[in-house]
């Protein structure tokens, strides 16, 4: 059972057996060092999620051989055991294949959210059970704190690195075994601690890519695994054809560049029509909407309810949350924002926070409701002010 530390964050009891997820980066290295210093019984485990490339490539995924070697060296330096846990087939089935399917279905997935729930807090939890490790520590910038009778993710104290968004769908059983020791630290403090420990990972650059997508070229991954793209029309909201596209999943909602259409004002992708195989484009004011529907909610710090509730709604990893009202429905939710937002994207996640940064619930965006009364006028005023 977790107990609150001096900051109110839930942590394993002293001396507990903890599996430390080791990515090979500075954050997990310092996490392991902190646990060893505090007397926990630790083992470092590195997930190996993608096969080694047949030829040497400049692309080194965070779950590749080099990362595993860096993690092993850190564990050796700390005097704790280390192992590499292979979950290549499961990652391929549950994450990469789903990523391709989502793009081909006209949605824009966030594989990191899915991976956290199904792999890092799924397959890795299974390995923790096999190793008789009741708790798992990770180098994420987030906090876990009590909220009533439940436990809840809370934004990191250092908001610039907060990762609660990509962790939001974790369930109560997962959260009650997790620990994020970096939740109160800044990135500079973490790097400084790594330098003092003389870790070679101290100045290692952070990966900005999806681990299985070299150079952020997701289209190549979808092309390779999903077959040849099917060209089709680019149309405006009235259905008038303005040009041609070279494959529906080559476009994402909110995209402005690469449309190849001359217009008096910049055009943006405002929707993808699977039935017509059409990319729908519009001007800036047409990208704003204030109402959308989601799939089933993953309840966090808020107990399940059928009553509407207020929340701060974050729509992307790097999006300033906006106030809205959440209306639970039998098969999902309807969310109405107080101000229209641009590029609400099916496939992304809506994470619902309270004013103190606690995650109340989260769900995947399914459908954006267009032509909501008043949204167009509000969008125009927002466009002029931004």
Per domain, the residue ranges of the chain are: 3-216, 229-282, 287-385
The owner of tokens 């080694």 is 52
- Give the highest mean pLDDT range of 2-11, 63-72, 280-289: 280-289
- CA end-to-end span of the chain: 48
CA distance 344 to 277: 20
Question: Is a pLDDT exceeding 70 seen at residue 382?
Answer: no
Looking at residue 118, its pLDDT comes to 93
What class has domain 229-282? mainly beta
With CA atoms as reference, report the closest residue to 9 among 103, 141, 101: 141
- The encoded tokens of residue 342 equal 């641009």
Looking at residue 101, its pLDDT comes to 94
User: Which phi and psi angles does 164 have, rounded to 5°?
Assistant: -65, -30
Helix (H, G, I), strand (E, B) or coil at 4: strand
Mean pLDDT of the chain: 90
Residues contacting residue 135 through CB under 8 Å, at least 6 positions apart: 2, 12, 16, 17, 18, 19, 128, 177, 178, 179
Q: How confident is the model at residue 383 (pLDDT cuts 50, 70, 90)?
A: very low
With beta carbons less than 8 A apart as the criterion, state whether 309 and 325 touch.
Answer: yes
- The encoded tokens of residue 347 equal 């496939």
- The encoded tokens of residue 190 equal 């973490």
Question: Is a pLDDT exceeding 50 seen at residue 219?
Answer: yes
Question: Is a pLDDT exceeding 80 seen at residue 380?
Answer: no
Topology alike, domains 3-216 and 287-385: no
Question: Is a pLDDT exceeding 90 seen at residue 54?
Answer: no
- The encoded tokens of residue 225 equal 């695994």
Q: Which residues are catalytic?
A: 115, 211
What class has domain 287-385? mainly beta
Helix (H, G, I), strand (E, B) or coil at 369: strand
Model confidence, pTM: 0.90
Question: Is a pLDDT exceeding 50 seen at residue 245?
Answer: yes
Hey, which residues does 327 pair with through a beta bridge?
Answer: 334
CA distance 122 to 138: 14
CATH among 3.30.450.40, 3.30.2270.10, 3.30.1330.10, 3.40.50.620 for 3-216: 3.40.50.620
Q: Cα 52 to chain center, whole Å?
A: 24
Question: Is a pLDDT exceeding 50 seen at residue 288?
Answer: yes
């Amino acid at each position: 059972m977790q107990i609150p530390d001096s900051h109110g964050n839930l942590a394993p009891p002293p001396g507990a057996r903890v599996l430390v997820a080791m990515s090979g980066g500075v954050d997990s290295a310092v996490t392991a060092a902190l646990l060893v210093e505090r007397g926990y019984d630790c083992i470092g485990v590195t997930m190996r999620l993608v096969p080694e490339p047949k030829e040497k490539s400049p692309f080194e995924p965070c779950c590749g051989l080099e990362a595993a070697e860096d993690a092993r060296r850190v564990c050796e330096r700390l005097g704790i055991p280390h192992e590499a846990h292979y979950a290549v087939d499961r990652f391929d089935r549950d994450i990469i294949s789903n990523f391709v399917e989502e793009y081909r279905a006209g949605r824009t997935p966030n594989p990191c959210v899915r991976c956290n729930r199904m792999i890092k807090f799924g397959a890795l939890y299974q390995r923790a059970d096999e190793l008789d490790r009741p708790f798992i520590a990770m180098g994420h910038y987030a906090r876990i704190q009590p909220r009533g009778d439940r436990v809840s993710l809370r934004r990191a104290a250092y908001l610039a690195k907060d990762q609660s968004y990509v962790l939001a769908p974790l369930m109560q059983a997962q959260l009650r075994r997790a620990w994020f020791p970096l939740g109160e630290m800044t990135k500079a403090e973490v790097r400084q601690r790594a330098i003092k420990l003389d870790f070679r990972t101290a100045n290692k650059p952070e990966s900005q890519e999806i681990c299985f997508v070299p150079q952020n070229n997701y289209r190549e991954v979808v092309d390779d695994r999903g077959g040849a793209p099917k060209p089709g029309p680019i149309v405006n909201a009235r259905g008038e054809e303005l040009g041609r596209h070279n494959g529906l999943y080559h476009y994402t909602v909110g995209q402005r560049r690469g449309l190849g259409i001359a217009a008096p004002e910049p055009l943006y992708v405002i929707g993808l029509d699977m039935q017509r195989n059409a990319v729908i484009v519009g001007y800036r004011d047409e990208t704003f909407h204030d109402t959308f529907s989601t799939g089933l909610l993953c309840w966090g710090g808020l107990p399940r309810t059928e009553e509407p509730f207020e929340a701060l709604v974050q729509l992307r990893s790097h999006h300033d949350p906006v106030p809205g009202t959440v209306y639970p429905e039998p098969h999902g939710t309807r969310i109405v924002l107080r101000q229209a937002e641009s590029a609400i994207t099916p496939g992304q996640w809506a994470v619902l926070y309270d004013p103190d940064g606690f995650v109340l619930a989260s769900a995947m965006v399914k459908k954006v409701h267009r032509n909501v009364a008043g949204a167009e006028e509000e969008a125009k005023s927002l466009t002029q002010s931004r």
